[in-house]
Amino acid sequence: MAVQALHRPDARDCDALEIHPTRELESCNHLLDDFAALNRFYESQGYILLRQVLDPGSVVEARDAMLAVAARIGIVRAGDPTGTWTGKPLEGRWEESPEFSGISKRLIDHPVNQVVMAKVMGEKACMVPNVQYRIYPPNGPVTVVHQDGFYSPGIHDYRPVWIPLLPCPREVGGLMVAVAQNKRGYLHNLAKPTPFPIPADEIPMESWATTDYVPGDVLIVNPYSPHASMPNRSTHLRPTFDTRVQSAARPSAVAATVTGVTPTSITVNVDGFGSRTYRVDADSFVRVRDPGIREPFDKFAEVTVPGMRLLVVADGDYAVMLRKAAEA
């Protein structure tokens, strides 16, 4: 699937560390019971910020589960609910580690939180099987300036969700959003190598906004909205996760297990729906081994093997995207 974006080989890349937001994100709690008004804000401003709407117990449970993983790798002390950093570096990639499996799903599926997500979607919601967990320590990585939709071709009518599990004031490095920049299409630069960085001069500096987040908050970011994390300059971890919600009645992205592969097709057992066979071609967005690397089409049948768990996005019987599943 071709994604329309920019082609500017000489452009300077946008650097999240050079951005210093001066605007404050607005709370949308007053719009939560009026979906039409909430959706107008989302479409015009490119985000929805909801303050302390999640069930407190479910947030504490998710926090403790993520910090337990952090304690096992030594970056916090066991049983410390504040997430104070021990000073040990975070090594390797943990965003989609199976160590976190089930944490986000338990939180999103809590009855109180399901009501919130239904109000965000305007109908009963379910998760897209794609979750990134982040336990970033001080002076750790920052996410680059990006638009979620650019990396998720074919997924329709979904809303990216970011949830902080500990207090996340500016010095801890929460998310910043380029407000009202979601009507301009994709700004990623296809003339540069992956992750196809957005040019620095494409986003007005005055559009950037952030806030001091607290547990129970939810930030929904339009798939076209440029956003990034800020650096963690505190003494604490930043345990957060980001996922996506979609229509429960009409999910466009599903989790599946591969049962068969040919050079031009894939057969999978889709969770809750049974066996399906999809056509695959050179335009299919295939990332079955590493979610950050697109596989060459001529290697598709070689690298895709039965038993793999995938996120499948389809248009009829055509596979738009096949991605390594990041189980909830």
Cα–Cα dist 46/221, whole Å: 6
Helix axes 35-45, 111-121, angle to 10 degrees: 70
Measure the CA–CA gap between 300 and 265, rounded to whole angstroms.
9
Residues 6+ positions from 237 with CB-CB distance below 8 Å: 67, 70, 75, 76, 83, 84, 85, 135, 136, 137, 166
C-alpha distances in Å from residue 171, one per residue of 93, 115, 143, 149, 270: 23, 31, 15, 28, 42
Rounded to two decimals, the pTM is 0.93
Listed in sequence order, the residues at least 6 apart from 208 whose beta carbon sits closer than 8 Å to its beta carbon are: 19, 20, 21, 22, 23, 176, 177, 178, 179
* d(C-alpha 298, C-alpha 209), whole Å: 43
Query: Model confidence over 43-92: pLDDT tens digits?
Result: 999 999 999 999 999 999 999 999 999 999 999 999 999 999 999 999 98
**Alpha helices of 164-306 — where are they, by DSSP H?**
300-303
Read off the tokens for 237: 């971890």
292 is written with which tokens? 């950050």
Distances (CA, A) of 178 to 18, 101, 225: 14, 31, 6
Place of tokens 């709370």: 27
User: Which pLDDT score, from 0 to 100, does residue 154 have?
Assistant: 84
- How are beta strands 238-247 and 132-136 bridged, if at all? antiparallel
Average pLDDT score over the chain: 95
pLDDT at 269: 97
At 2 the pLDDT is 52
Cα–Cα distance between 114 and 94 in angstroms, integer? 27
Query: Rounded to whole angstroms, how far apart are CA atoms 102 and 227?
Result: 26
Q: Residue 296: which pLDDT band, with cuts at 50, 70 and 90?
A: very high
pLDDT given at position 293: 85
The pLDDT-based confidence of 1 (bands split at 50, 70, 90) is very low
Given a cut of 60, whether residue 121 has pLDDT beyond it is yes
User: What is the pLDDT confidence band of residue 291, given thresholds at 50, 70 and 90?
Assistant: confident
Please determine, for residue 285, whether its predicted confidence score (pLDDT) is greater than 70: yes
Return all residues near 93 (Cβ < 8 A) that are at least 6 apart: none
CB 171 within 8 A of CB 229: no
Measured at the CA of 64, the angle between CA 63 and CA 70, to 5 degrees, comes to: 90
Q: What is the pLDDT, as a whole number, of residue 245?
A: 96
Percent of the chain, pLDDT > 70? Answer: 98
Q: How are beta strands 208-210 and 23-24 bridged, if at all?
A: parallel
pLDDT tops 70 at residue 267: yes
In the chain the domains, ranked by start, together with CATH numbers, are 16-247 (2.60.120.620), 253-324 (2.40.50)
Question: Residues 200-236: pLDDT tens digits?
Answer: 999 999 999 999 999 999 999 999 999 999 999 999 9
167: pLDDT confidence band, cut at 50, 70 and 90? very high
* Mean pLDDT calculated for residue range 269-279: 94
Tell me, what's the pLDDT at 90?
A: 94
Residue 13's φ and ψ, nearest 5 degrees, are -75, 145
Give the mean model confidence (pLDDT) for residues 122-142.
93
The answer to whether 53 and 110 have CB atoms below 8 angstroms apart is no
Would the pLDDT of 103 be above 60?
A: yes
Per-residue pLDDT, averaged over 304-309, amounts to 96
Quote helix, strand, coil % in the chain, to nearest 5.
25, 30, 50
